[in-house]
């Protein structure tokens, strides 16, 4: 399992994967000021929500690479033969995806905060929210990747599956900037719920895909 974890982390950073996620995240954050205008007060007010929307969209980029390559190469079958349950494999993939996805995103959020004229306090709340909420995003991404693995046009289907499920996470994440500690607690609770449920659902989807 440790080897699987490190392999997925290296795959997440290799091939420009993390760079692409960060570049897409910053591109979305840059485009919003052009659309909204130079009003600093307005940008500061909506900036937290913009960062969360950009994070959600960036989380969609690697979904097709999380499960499908291993399913096509027979890696999941080999792990099952060795006695590793699909739910355990899914849990490891979630942890590895978070390690490859969340730290670069949190660093990029500091740059986005400067573009959106966020105060230091709002930036701290955004970073705390991303720290608590990105495990839920990683869990959703792996689950979505398992559900759409093997489908034609998996990328488009992944968006249809993941985005509605991530709406509560987006609402709680953006709301935590105004709600402070109470908002962060709601975000953490929902993210924990996703992390707890995702391995079971993703594991079931992997098992169905191997049959």
Whether residue 48 is predicted with pLDDT greater than 90 in this model: the reply is no
Q: Is the distance from CB of 197 to CB of 94 less than 8 angstroms? A: no
Q: Is the distance from CB of 133 to CB of 175 less than 8 angstroms? A: no
Query: What pLDDT does 5 receive?
Result: 83
Return the higher-pLDDT residue of 194 and 16. 194
Give the pLDDT mean for 178-183.
Answer: 78
The sign of the torsion formed by the CA atoms of 77, 83, 87, 93 equals: negative
The answer, as to whether pTM is greater than 0.85, is yes
**Could you give phi then psi for residue 56, rounded to 5 degrees?**
-65, -45
Give the pLDDT mean for 105-111.
Answer: 88
Q: With CA atoms as reference, report the closest residue to 58 among 27, 91, 103, 31.
A: 27
Average pLDDT, the chain: 83
- 129-164, pLDDT tens digit by residue? 999 999 999 999 999 988 888 776 666 677 777 888
The C-alpha atoms of residue 167 and residue 190 are separated, in whole angstroms, by 11
Q: How far is CA 111 from CA 51, 68, 105, 166, in A?
A: 10, 32, 10, 24
Whether residue 16 is predicted with pLDDT greater than 70 in this model: the reply is no
Q: What is the DSSP string of 16-27?
A: GHHHHHHHHHHH
Residues in the chain: 211
Whether residue 206 is predicted with pLDDT greater than 60 in this model: the reply is yes
Query: What pLDDT does 178 receive?
Result: 77
């Amino acid at each position: 399992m440790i080897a699987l974890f490190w392999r997925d982390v290296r795959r997440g950073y290799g091939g420009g994967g993390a760079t692409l996620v960060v570049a897409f995240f910053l591109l979305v954050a840059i485009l919003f000021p052009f659309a909204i205008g130079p009003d600093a007060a307005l940008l500061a007010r909506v900036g937290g929500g913009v960062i969360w929307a950009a994070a959600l969209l960036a989380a969609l980029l690697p979904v097709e690479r999380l499960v499908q390559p291993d399913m096509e190469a027979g890696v999941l079958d080999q792990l099952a033969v060795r006695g590793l349950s699909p739910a355990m494999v899914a849990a490891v993939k979630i942890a590895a995806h978070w390690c490859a996805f969340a730290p670069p995103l949190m660093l990029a959020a500091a740059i986005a905060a400067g573009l959106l004229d966020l105060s230091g306090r709002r930036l701290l709340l955004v970073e705390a929210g991303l720290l608590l909420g990105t495990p839920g995003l990683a869990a959703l991404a792996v689950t979505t990747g398992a559900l759409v693995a093997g489908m034609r046009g998996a990328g488009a289907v992944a968006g249809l599956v993941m985005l509605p499920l991530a709406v509560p996470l987006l609402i709680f994440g953006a709301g935590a900037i105004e709600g402070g500690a109470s908002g962060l607690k709601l975000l953490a609770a929902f993210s924990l719920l996703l992390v707890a449920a995702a391995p079971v659902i993703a594991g079931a989807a992997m098992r169905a895909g191997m049959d």
